Amino acid sequence: MFVAQEYRHAALHERYNKEIVGEQFGHDVEAIQAAVAARLKFEHSSFSHEFQLATTCALEHFTAMMAHFLLGTARGREYLGMFDPFHRKVWTWHAKEEMEHKVCGSYWVRTLSMIRTTAIFILCIILIYLKLLWGRGLLFKPATWWASFKLLLVRPGLLPSLVVPWLDYFRPGFHPWDQNDNTLINGSTDPEMETVPSRL
């Protein structure tokens, strides 16, 4: 089931990136995807299957933490409510998918891979964000950076909300489902949020 969901997830990502990020906003999606593909090729050729699996677990948990913020906190839901209906539906579905896939492995492999995954994930997001800002002529505008600062650190404040759940990953005996997100995954006040938008 996980593999089937990830295949569908990847296909929808590709369509979203092409139709929304590429065609609607005019970004060079192929260059970004090529960089990601090169990174994945390096990962596959450089690390053991066990460590690759641990990295997948860490990445899934990292994105699940952000998903929980979006759907499970008042500030996250407030931020999601600012989206137009189409994008709110996409990101609600995406968040639920991420929360379903929380897993973990042996302690040292798990924790070391989380440290490494966090560093690589943040670096990749920063580089992609800079490229997207450059493409839209927003990179050197103070208003852009002030808005980003407020989003990440003030309101809704994504980064502060991740500190405690991130540190909890390093607790001996930790299991990702200590934070039970089934209510968020299975429940919705809006039936329209339960399915992938028809545009995708």
Residues 119-173 have pLDDT tens digits of 999 999 999 999 999 988 999 999 999 999 999 999 899 999 999 999 999 998 8
pLDDT of residue 1: 58
Residue 179 CB coordination number (10 Å): 16
pLDDT over 70 (residue 38): yes
pLDDT of residue 189: 47
Q: Report the half-sphere exposure of 59 (CA within 13 A, side-chain side).
A: 14
The C-alpha atoms of residue 28 and residue 131 are separated, in whole angstroms, by 9
pLDDT over 90 (residue 7): no
Q: What is the pTM of this model?
A: 0.74
Dihedral angle computed from the Cα positions of residues 63, 69, 75 and 78, in that order, rounded to the nearest 10 degrees: 70
The C-alpha atoms of residue 80 and residue 185 are separated, in whole angstroms, by 16
Q: If we measure between CA atoms, which residue out of 28, 62, 23 comes closest to residue 132?
A: 28
Quote the percentage of the chain above a pLDDT of 70.
88
pLDDT over 60 (residue 54): yes
